[in-house]
Amino acid sequence: MSPRKIIIDTDPGQDDAVAILLALASPEDIDVLGITAVAGNVPLPLTQKNARIVCELAGKTDVKIFSGCDAPLSRKLVTAEHVHGKTGLDGPTLPDPTMPLQDQHAVDFIIDTLRAEDSGAVTLCPLGPLTNLATAFNKAPDIIERVQEIVLMGGAYFEVGNITPAAEFNIYVDPEAADVVFKSGVPIVVMPLDVTHKALVTKPRNDAFRAIGTDVGIAVAEMTDFFERFDKEKYGSAGAPLHDPCVTAYLIAPDLFKGRHVNVKVEIQSDLTLGMTVADWWGVTDRAPNALFIGDLDADGFFSLLTERLARL
């Protein structure tokens, strides 16, 4: 099989960085057509810069990186420096990037790519708020039916919220954009907190990254070290959850994951539960399934895949 063509839409973020590194380390499985940055964990000037820092760390300076939307469709941007640090990539000391940012807007790159490639040949992989995707779908509805699949990190159901009691960060930041995406009719695979909170970087797993001994291995160990203090304090968990790498790992090894085809709707009105992903896990409504909502993963298999692939960079 030829590698799957993808666009990574991202707001790096330490876990975004690891997701990108996994994709770039896996050319036999994944062909990264471009990386589009969006405002999220930190403001856009930092997310586009961090995307370039990560590609340079991987030694992949030919990857095309685009800057996208700097604010949600109709709300004020909420960021997450309390989790990711001031730069979004706090932890390792990494040099400022010298590789270029493309001139084209991320939204136009998404539109042009979907029109230029065969219909059904491109998968979209959002790792942040869904603003760039929704803007592209609103601007060019003809591209919607050309998307092969959307594999995204976002939402939560049994694990409930991390930014509010009801909502996960990516969906909460731009619930209207998430609503557009979940109503689009494109096949969607969702990596909610329900599964990402099972992908924990325990001490032995962090040691395994460090033991790779390369710049990439050490940087990933330092990033997950930094990231972990927040989750240890908040959840009392054994380490940092690697949210976004679940997306790129799914593209390589879908058998590591288990979920259900269910209906998912995004709350866009209530102040109390804004951005909640209401997943009909028990099939108690007649709403048609629109997403494969993942609930479990083989965590050991996931970390061995990740460590083995990162060692290639």
Cβ at position 53, least distance to Ca ion in Å: 15
Q: Choose between 55 and 280: whose C-beta lies nearer to Ca ion.
A: 55
Closest CA to 226 of 36, 7, 15: 15
Q: What is the DSSP string of 237-283?
A: -SSEE-TTHHHHHHHH-GGGEEEEEE-EEE--S-TTTTT-EEE-TT-
The structure tokens listed for 117 are 């490639």
Choose the catalytic residue: 82, 84, 105, 243: 243
Work out whether strand 240-241 and strand 200-201 pair parallel, antiparallel, or are unpaired: antiparallel
- Rounded Cα distance between 225 and 91, Å, is 7
Cβ at position 92, least distance to Ca ion in Å: 17
List of residues contacting Ca ion (CB under 5 A): 11, 13, 16, 127-128, 244
Cβ at position 127, least distance to Ca ion in Å: 4
Q: Choose between 146 and 198: whose C-beta lies nearer to Ca ion.
A: 198
- Rounded Cα distance between 219 and 235, Å, is 24
Closest CA to 34 of 87, 96, 98, 112: 112
| 82 a catalytic residue | no
The structure tokens listed for 41 are 């964990």
- Rounded Cα distance between 51 and 11, Å, is 8
Cβ at position 211, least distance to Ca ion in Å: 26
Residues serving a catalytic function are 243
